[in-house]
Amino acid sequence: MRLVRRAKYSNIFLHLIMHAGATLCFFIRPSYDAITLAITLYVVTGGLGWSVGIHRGLIHNSFSTYRFMENILAVLGTLSGLGGPISSSRTHFLRDFCQSSPEFTTTSLPSSFWRNYLDLPFFWEMTLEPAPPDRVSELLEKRWFFRLLENRWLATGLMAALLYTLGGLVYLAWGLCARVVLTVNLFAIFDFYCHSHKHGSQRFEIEGASCGGRNVWLVALLTFGEGWHNNHHAMPSSPRMGIGEIEIDIGYSIIQIMHRCGLAWNLIKPNEALKPTARQI
């Protein structure tokens, strides 16, 4: 089985534009409203949208919700800058497939932060030949609304127009550019530290895996619980990633609120999601 990579030039260009736009924050008079908006949008798009809606919801089916809620969360997740539901699912499947196989150590364990940064799936379209079946992504691709969300430029353009209309250039610089740069770079930090064998800790050992993930508390705090990644590798379909008493998992707290409001049900318990190849260290 061979890993094939093709550069996503449109994504790379968009990435550079977001960084260029973020530099405007140094030249525009600071606006507390704009900074508050950026932080709020980071939580709503990165936490509620991507971590809860796309990752734990659509990709892992760790809880059930209404179809309209799936669409709303998918829109918010796409606006995070981390990708739409289909591309996120395909990327996640490929990374998970490689990390669960002992033959793909170069894809699973990053050698350095910047090497890993340049290898992020955000910049590359990665496929395996021959391609293993990816049923989750195939199901998501059947939904026309999710296919529409894969147009990054359309989503980004509409968001830019809305923010500029609401608050001008300062809202655009903070609410879109700086916020997307923060999101993408924080998740790049997450990807490096939570897949490196030198950092964090492990609660579980996963037999036969080239990478079992690492638990890094600071990364978990900044990425809505995604940093409890060894737990997630061991229990991928659990909506709860922080399973210890002091393992703060903001994403799971959001799901609990949704559950109390009748917007989420069939939450899979951690012990029900434990892989048969995972054993507690």
Cα angle: 66, vertex 71, 72; to 5 degrees: 95
Q: What is the DSSP letter of 48?
A: I
What does the alpha-carbon distance between residue 183 and residue 120 come to, in Å, rounded to a whole number?
14
pLDDT per residue rounded down to tens, the chain (281 residues): 787 888 999 999 999 999 999 999 999 988 999 999 999 999 999 999 999 999 999 999 999 999 999 999 999 999 999 999 999 999 999 888 888 777 665 555 666 888 888 888 888 888 888 888 999 999 999 999 999 999 989 999 999 999 999 999 999 999 999 999 999 999 999 999 998 888 889 999 999 888 889 999 999 999 999 999 999 999 999 999 999 889 999 999 999 999 999 999 999 999 999 999 999 98
The tokens for 274 are 């434990």
Cβ partners under 8 Å of residue 119, min gap 6: 110
Domains of the chain by residue range: 2-280
**Phi, psi for residue 262 in degrees, rounded to 5:** 80, 15
CB 88 within 8 A of CB 55: yes
Helix axes 85-99, 67-77, angle to 10 degrees: 80
What does the alpha-carbon distance between residue 63 and residue 56 come to, in Å, rounded to a whole number?
8
Task: Collapse the DSSP code of 3 into the 3-class scheme (helix H, G, I; strand E, B; otherwise coil) and give the result.
Answer: strand
